[in-house]
Structure 1
Amino acid sequence: MGNCSCKETHIGHYCNHCVPEKFGLDCEFDCPEGCTTCDLNGNCTLCYPGYHGSKMCKCSNRCLDNKCDKWTGRCERCKPFFKWPCENCVDGKYGKNCERDCPDNCFSCLSETNCTKCKNGFYGINCNFTCSNENCINSCSPGYYGQNCKRRCYNTCNLCTSFTECHSCKDGFWGYQCENKCPENCSNNRCQINQSCVSYLPGFYGQFCNLTCPQNCMDSCTISGACNNCKHGYHGNRCNETCSERCLQDYCLMNGNCEQCTSGFYGTQCERTCPSQCLECTDESLCNSCINGYFGRNCSQQCGYCKDNTSCNINTGHCEQCADDMYGSKF
């Protein structure tokens, strides 16, 4: 038996697979950006470095060199001005990409008008007040105040103008005298002067990080308790709805749409049934693959004398192998 050459878009012993980055019945379509290989519906099955999950899920723009875990999306390393786990800015920076400098007198901030910690010598919500000569913080080390810096601030206070008037707390404390501990679930043990967390530990939400994210959230949720991502098999804002059993491997998007359907079904939630001879289909009139012995647009035509009822080309009906004592492409 002679050998034949595959078309440039096909590979495999019988030329029945697409080359990387191609998909479709005749391998005529390009996979989404970032995919090495994808299925007949255009869903990624293997990603290039810098991409994760299915479809076109790119790494966070906070990841250094666009490198992250291909399934969870967690950065391998952070870009400059982000601190691990690449969710918050380093001290002195703020903004979407942490590219903006905090006001001159802020040690750390959330915005141009919201300092979370002042530099030595300054106090106030925006760190815009200079300490007086009587309260010479300007030249005092953190934790001291008064002339010649001989007086100690309250032990949890970082900057003060008197023993009872603190303007910047040590990490982990809040209040007028920094007498209160930050909620235990605040990330990096940091909270604002009103007790609200600067950022949250994974699994918690709410102004004071005292509420637990829904149990099926993947790692984290928003301040309102909506999940950022769901665990396998769940969807919805709070991940409290199960994916359709017709979703392949019970995997679906946050909106409940299936990434890929189990054999014999199609539709956004795989709610529709393919024609009877189809293994996979795009709609009721276009099959992507047929059960052995059938071919055609809707798998309604029977293959010829293929060996042991093996499959034939879905478009042409040509057998992959002929039955014993038979030859030719089809009959």
Structure 2
Amino acid sequence: MKCLAQCPATACYNNGTCVTCKQNFTGSKCDSCVDGRYGANCSLQCSDGCEGSICQSSGGSCNCKRDKCAVCVEGRYGENNCEQTCFSGCNGKTCNSNGTCTCKPYYTGSTCDSCVNGKYGENCSLQCSGGCEWNTCNLSDGSCICSGQHCEHCITGRYGDDCSKICRRGCLENNCSFTDGKCDCKDFHTGDRCDVCVDGRYGDNCLNRCEFC
């Protein structure tokens, strides 16, 4: 029988149990973390505030001493058992016991859960369209309420009255008319919006060639 991954080298019995465990593992099959450790490789330290220095092996949450964890593991907070995760906008992925933190660039809010005006997307690194009213847009996709009848400048890859429509994948340089989505086509694409493959081509990006059409 093959030894479990947690058993050092080939040190196991015929029933699969380990003779000895790797560092920070315990149990007959070495499938648990020793007290005070958690994580995929049992390499992370439980919070100092955990009762008995014991925490959940998957996320590090625990029952706290004196009803309050004095120190949560990095990236966690919560006054009862460190069960909540700091927001991604927190600098260094660390926060206070109530979730407040110092923000990374382009993030704002007491818990750094929002982008500053004019920014959106992963890491709040993308710029809202110049036509967005109040210079604000949807945090996930950049769509917005426009100033004027149309958004004068949609972000690349978007079009429509509120920049909510996506240019077709066949558009050259992922760019299209902000009013109707028409565009110049990449190779092997055709149509006003470049959403059709030319004759003899099919598949993603129209890269596949028909053999017996």
TM-score scaled by length of structure 1: 0.22
Higher-Rg structure is: 1
Which structure dedicates a bigger proportion of its chain to strand?
1
Which structure dedicates a bigger proportion of its chain to helix?
2
